[in-house]
Amino acid sequence: MASSIKISRLISRSISSASSSTSLFSRGRNGGYPGGLLAKYSTAAVVDEQPIKPSVQVEHTQLLIDGKFVDAASGKTFPTLDPRTGEVIAHVAEGHSEDIDRAVAAARKAFDFGPWPRMTAYERQKIMLRAADLIEKHNDDIAALETWDNGKPYEQSRQVEIPMLVRLIRYYAGWADKIHGLTVPADGSYHVQTLHEPIGVAGQIIPWNFPLLMFGWKVGPALACGNTVVLKTAEQTPLSALYTTRLFHEAGLPPGVLNIVSGFGPTAGAALASHMDVDKVAFTGSTATGKVILQLAAQSNLKQVTLELGGKSPFIVCEDADVDQAVELAHFALFFNQGQCCCAGSRTFVHERVYDEFVEKAKIRALNRSVGDPFKSGIEQGPQIDAKQFEKILRYIRSGVETGATLETGGERHGSKGFYVQPTVFSNVQDDMLIAKEEIFGPVQSILKFKNIEEVIQRANNSNYGLAAGIFTENLNTANTLTRALKVGTVWVNCFNTYDAAIPFGGYKMSGQGREKGEYSIKNYLNVKAVVTPLKNPAWL
């Protein structure tokens, strides 16, 4: 089933289970701030209840190097926290440069002397398919780890994200035996062919917002091409990748091919990006960190780099829009995954003809969003990832109020423990406000007004980012104009957050370099070699 259909069905179920009563909410559009709760959320009590205990046990907290779970060389560990409460789930091995050295040495040995790049592509494919089968078999346990460590709704993890991971691994397994070069005609008596060869050791650094999907986006194409991998997990969410990589080894992956180092960016991440024996690095995360990764790669061995970075995506609601449908889609575009999505539709541009109606309905939709323990059925929004992100979001909200945006609803902590933020909607947002310019990465919707297509194109493109955009219109000409005019890597027309293993994903400008997923990501993990041989007395050229 297509991932977009799964997401749509999940959202529909969540919406139907959410409270629809507006009588609980007494705040008007123009009320003051701060001063007391902004709205009486019907699910507030859920957050303060005893959190549901996940059924899964944490089995793996060590580093995975050369096919074995091992302690960090220093013996140090760090806590990974439950964002519902801030309490410790487990203590995980803290990798440093010495551990990166060990992991890279194992990956280099596996590439230079091991069977992985030398076995037939069909054999690599079979191992990857067996790994996908094992992930599918352990779907519920992996989903529970993902939700426990990250805070996203369990229904989202279980019904959408882990199945999407399985689909990704199977997709790239299918590519393994379809990677080949060309025979090229040349002037003169020569036989010319191109070979597509694995790059070697790939260093990969993944974020915390979609830990396992980003694991699949990185590991899938690298393995299909015959590379070996050293992957650094985000320090906030190390658990699910360790569990899943064990399943790859159960499926027959040779030792050293896929190594996992948990640790922090300035230590383990920097060591990986600057390592002289790493041939390529791939990073997903903030633009600021992406710049550091690029600099480290250049200063070391000029290794190849792909970057999937931040965004401030416009979601454009045109004057012909069905407002109810537009509100629902714009809500999904922004609030999905607690707003912790690099391509979130965080600049909601609405045509002046429907602006007031849209704002009022967007406010009501946010008020009715179900917030609480992500393990509870029907919950749409769990906690933010950690205290740092929680405080960052609240600072942006205060900035919006201080610079004159109208706070329609939300704006405060939800409940009394954990890292929950009320779904927040701002209207009367201006382009020069921080909430309209910078990536908040949280459940904060900024609604801006526009007059015509020419104006909104200019304003939408007036950003350092260019990751994605959404368009809501029934006019084909309008859609065609906007899709070609917007300087972004993905444009969703009358949909949003529609992902598929074959659809490339990446950005323009400061949203990154290169593409993830699809055929384009395969090219990130291959070198192209031209081979030229003279022909003696050829029958033809």
Rounded Cα–Cα distance for residues 526 and 532 (Å)? 19
Structure tokens at 188: 């003169």
Q: Please provide residue 150's backbone torsions phi and psi, each rounded to the nearest 5 degrees.
A: -110, -35
Rounded Cα–Cα distance for residues 532 and 190 (Å)? 6
- Kind plus residue range of the DSSP H or E element containing 192: strand 190-198
Range list of β-strands (E), 311-429: 314-317, 347-351, 406-409, 424-427
Structure tokens at 29: 């559009």
Q: Which residues contact 243 (CB under 8 A, 6 or more apart)?
A: 59, 60, 138, 141, 142, 145
Q: Please provide residue 517's backbone torsions phi and psi, each rounded to the nearest 5 degrees.
A: 70, 165
Catalytic site includes residue 308: yes
Q: Which among 482, 464, 466 is positioned nearest to 474, based on CA atoms? A: 482
- Kind plus residue range of the DSSP H or E element containing 446: strand 444-450
User: How far from 272 is each of 125, 259, 277, CA to CA, in Å?
Assistant: 27, 12, 9
Rounded Cα–Cα distance for residues 476 and 473 (Å)? 8
User: How far from 107 is each of 147, 204, 223, CA to CA, in Å?
Assistant: 30, 12, 12
Compute the residue count for the chain.
541
Q: Which is catalytic among the residues 94, 155, 161, 308? A: 308
Q: Which among 210, 504, 153 is positioned nearest to 341, based on CA atoms? A: 210
User: How far from 40 is each of 405, 523, 527, CA to CA, in Å?
Assistant: 21, 51, 58
Which alpha helices (H) appear in 152-275, and where do they start and end?
A: 154-156, 162-175, 211-224, 239-250, 270-273
**Catalytically active residues, by annotation:** 308
